[in-house]
A and B are shown apart, each in its own frame.
Chain A
Amino acid sequence: MEPHVEVKGLRVTAGGKDDSAITIVEGVDFTIPRGGVLALIGESGSGKTTIALTLMGYARSGCRIAGGSIRLGDTDIRALDEEGLAALRGDRVAYIAQSAAASFNPSKRIMDQVVEPALIHGRMDRKSAEAKAISLFRALALPQPDSIGSRYPHQLSGGQLQRLMAAMALITGPELVILDEPTTALDVTTQIEVLRAFKHAVASQGATAIYVSHDLAVVAQMADQILVLNKGRIREAGAATQILQSPADDYTRTLMAAARPAPKPAPVAAPTKAPLLEIKGLFAGYGKVDSGGRPEIPVLRDISLSIAKGATLGVIGESGSGKSTLARVVAGLIRPASGSVNFAGARLPGGLEQRSRDQFRRIQLVFQNADTALNPAHSVADILGRPLRFYHGLKGAAQQKRVAELLDLIRLPANLADRACSGLSGGQKQRINLARALAAKPDLILCDEVTSALDTVVGAAILDLLADLRRELGLAYMFISHDIGTVRAICDDIMVLYGGMAVEMGPRSAYQAPPFHPYTDLLVGSVPELRAGWLEEQATRPPPPAIGPALEGADLCRFLPRCSARIDGLCTHFTPPRRHLPGGSDILCHHPEVVN
Chain B
Amino acid sequence: MLKRQIGLLTLVAAAALLVGCQTPEPTPEPSPPTDDTRPISTPPPTPEPPTFNDNMEPYYPGSTKLLPRVFYFELDKAVIDQADLAALETHAQVLMDNPRRRVVIEGHCDERGTREYNLALGERRSDAVSRFLKAAGVLTSRIETVSYGEEQPEDPGHTEAAWSRNRRAVMIYR
* A and B form one complex: no
B residues adjacent to A (C-beta < 8 A):
none
Q: Which residues of A contact B (CB under 8 A)?
A: none
